[in-house]
């Protein structure tokens, strides 16, 4: 009896729909055969004609004028091809209501004339168990994000690369009684997770090379100029800035943001590399682990507020932050149960900040980033490597119950600089290693243990730090 070659046997079984389990007997189920874009008039037609399958986007440039829409479960795109959006009014890929969808390996970018946009590069909406892996999103200069994940559950975004995601816009806050003005700014959030539960965000690389916060850029685009304001000044702007028609908050956005502290829950942000953004990580959610990330040259290394509860910030590196390396504070969306600020209707569930741990992080070269000229030592907002608590409304509940342990703040100055042959060491570019909000907005229940912190020019921590010791 002649035996069938193994390769031929396996091929026949796969074509017959037999899928193999690593640890058990063969499992019988449908084996979808992937399609290729080149067999159809367009990528969209290939997607529409192959629901439940992954469509191969082969190597080469594929120009589109409308967003590719994936709406069938278990569908998606994969392959080495570049998808180039030539229409600034359209997203590049939209995945909506497609549970188990996948987008893998492809490069998403825009034609030169379509780079300044208000649309996302990749938008996932109302999906469960979707996977985005090894995707590149380049030159999507948008306030609507390079990768936007919205109203989703159990999503994985891993090993993706986002480059140059920031654009120019006017930030209009005239509808807010707390601001009451609009100003010129740069804005861009590379990856934004909004109303997401159970997400893994791992191993991504997010870099902005284009719009760096230099004095030349600020002057060229009149960044920070107040272009419109209400008759009455808001409480979140100083009288000096109001009178001078300028605010230095003209870098808006973040590399990686978790939005809405009331509805985003159970997220792991792990092993990501971030460089040159306004904020490295911006967390508004509960039960979030922020671990082993590298954040370089961002004014804010990480900020958690607006109802950020049970946040574990562990084992991260924050280098060359200029305003704060790690900041935990309350925000305008924070409130006790049944009570909202400014007379708004109460809600039955509290949205408070704290009950968190900051452990085993390193903050280095503080105040030596691109935007250090915007946040000099002694600025009213800071700067400080660790900021705990922040003013919002009188009714806003303070940050509370935070353990700060095993962290290192190291910034002795550049060192090794010779002046007349004598080594010089510059003083740290912060007054205090730890800054807490004073008065009624001060945090409650802070515990410090086993930290190694280089004191600032005025000491280790602000006066009135009531619990524990740095």
- Look at residue 394 in the predicted model and tell me its pLDDT: 59
- Distance between CA atoms of residues 237 and 443, nearest Å: 22
13 found inside a domain = no
Backbone dihedral region for residue 203 (phi beyond 0: left; psi -120 to 50: alpha; all else: beta): left
- pLDDT tens-digit series, residues 131-177: 999 999 999 999 889 999 999 999 999 999 999 999 999 999 988 87
Range of the domain at 156: 56-461
Could you tell me the two tokens for 265?
């829950």
- Look at residue 354 in the predicted model and tell me its pLDDT: 87
- Look at residue 306 in the predicted model and tell me its pLDDT: 87
- Look at residue 367 in the predicted model and tell me its pLDDT: 92
336 found inside a domain = yes
8 found inside a domain = no
Give the Cβ contact number of residue 58 at 10 Å: 11
- Look at residue 260 in the predicted model and tell me its pLDDT: 75
Provide the pairing of β-strand 417-419 with 422-424: antiparallel
23 found inside a domain = no
Could you tell me the two tokens for 386?
């660790």
49 found inside a domain = no
31 found inside a domain = no
469 found inside a domain = no
Task: Please identify which residue in the block is written with the tokens 């969808």.
Answer: 101
Helix, strand, coil share of the chain (percent; to 5): 10, 40, 50
CATH number at residue 131: 2.160.20
β-bridge mates for residue 279, sequence order = 300
Residue 183 neighbours by CB under 8 Å, 6+ apart: 170, 171, 224, 225, 226, 227, 246, 247, 249, 250
Closest-CA residue to 184 (of 147, 141, 217)? 217
Residue 409 neighbours by CB under 8 Å, 6+ apart: 325, 363, 364, 366, 385, 386, 433, 451, 452, 453, 454
- Look at residue 6 in the predicted model and tell me its pLDDT: 41
Total tally of structural domains belonging to the chain: 1
- Distance between CA atoms of residues 198 and 266, nearest Å: 5
**pLDDT < 70 stretches in the chain:** 1-34, 261, 338-348, 391-394, 412-419, 421, 423-424, 464-470
Q: Give kind and range of the element (H or E) at residue 355.
A: strand 354-359
214 found inside a domain = yes
DSSP 184-225: EEEE--SEEEES-EEEEEES-EEE--S----HHHHHHHTTTB
- pLDDT tens-digit series, residues 70-123: 999 999 999 999 999 999 999 999 999 999 999 999 999 999 999 999 999 999
Closest-CA residue to 396 (of 464, 447, 329)? 329
Closest-CA residue to 305 (of 338, 336, 327)? 327
- Distance between CA atoms of residues 62 and 106, nearest Å: 11
- Look at residue 424 in the predicted model and tell me its pLDDT: 64
């Amino acid at each position: 009896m002649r035996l069938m070659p193994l390769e031929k046997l396996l091929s026949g079984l796969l074509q017959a729909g037999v899928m193999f389990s690593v640890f058990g007997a063969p499992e019988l189920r449908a084996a979808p055969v992937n399609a290729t874009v080149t067999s159809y008039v367009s990528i969209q037609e290939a997607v529409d004609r192959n629901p439940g399958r992954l469509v191969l986007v082969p190597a080469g440039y594929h120009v589109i004028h409308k967003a590719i829409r994936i709406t069938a479960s278990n569908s998606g795109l994969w392959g080495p091809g570049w998808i180039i959006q030539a229409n600034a009014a359209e997203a590049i890929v939209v995945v909506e209501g497609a549970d188990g969808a996948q987008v893998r390996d492809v490069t998403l970018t825009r034609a030169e004339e379509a780079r300044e946009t208000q649309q996302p590069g990749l938008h996932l909406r109302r999906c469960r168990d979707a996977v985005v892996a090894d995707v590149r999103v380049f030159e999507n200069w948008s306030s609507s994000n390079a990768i936007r994940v919205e109203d989703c559950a159990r999503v994985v975004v891993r090993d993706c690369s986002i480059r140059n995601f920031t654009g120019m816009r006017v930030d209009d806050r005239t509808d807010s009684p707390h601001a009451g003005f609009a100003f010129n700014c740069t804005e861009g959030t590379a990856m934004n997770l909004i109303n997401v539960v159970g997400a893994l965000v791992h191993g991504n690389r997010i870099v902005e090379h284009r719009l760096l916060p230099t004095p030349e850029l600020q002057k060229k685009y009149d960044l920070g100029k107040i272009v419109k304001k209400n008759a009455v000044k808001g409480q979140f702007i100083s009288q000096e800035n109001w009178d001078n028609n300028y605010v230095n908050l003209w870098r808006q956005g973040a590399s990686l943001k978790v939005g809405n502290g009331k509805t985003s829950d159970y997220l792991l942000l792990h092993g990501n590399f971030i460089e040159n953004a306004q904020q490295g990580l911006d967390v508004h959610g509960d039960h979030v682990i922020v671990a082993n990330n590298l954040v370089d040259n961002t004014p804010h290394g990480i900020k958690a507020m607006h109802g950020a509860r049970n946040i574990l910030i562990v084992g991260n590196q924050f280098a060359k932050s200029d305003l704060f390396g790690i900041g935990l504070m309350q925000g305008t969306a924070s409130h006790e149960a049944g009570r909202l600020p400014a007379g708004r209707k109460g809600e039955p569930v509290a949205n408070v900040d704290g009950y968190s741990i900051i452990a085993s992080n390193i903050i280095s070269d503080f105040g030596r980033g691109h935007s250090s000229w915007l946040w000099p030592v002694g600025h009213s907002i800071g700067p400080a490597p660790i900021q705990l608590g922040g003013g919002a409304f009188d009714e806003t509940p303070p940050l509370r119950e935070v353990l700060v342990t095993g962290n290192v703040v190291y910034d002795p100055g550049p060192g090794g600089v010779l002046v007349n042959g004598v080594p010089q060491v510059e003083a740290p570019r912060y007054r205090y290693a730890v800054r807490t909000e004073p008065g009624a907005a001060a945090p409650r229940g802070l515990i410090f243990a086993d930290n190694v912190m280089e004191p600032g020019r005025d000491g280790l921590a602000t006066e009135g730090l009531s619990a524990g010791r740095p």
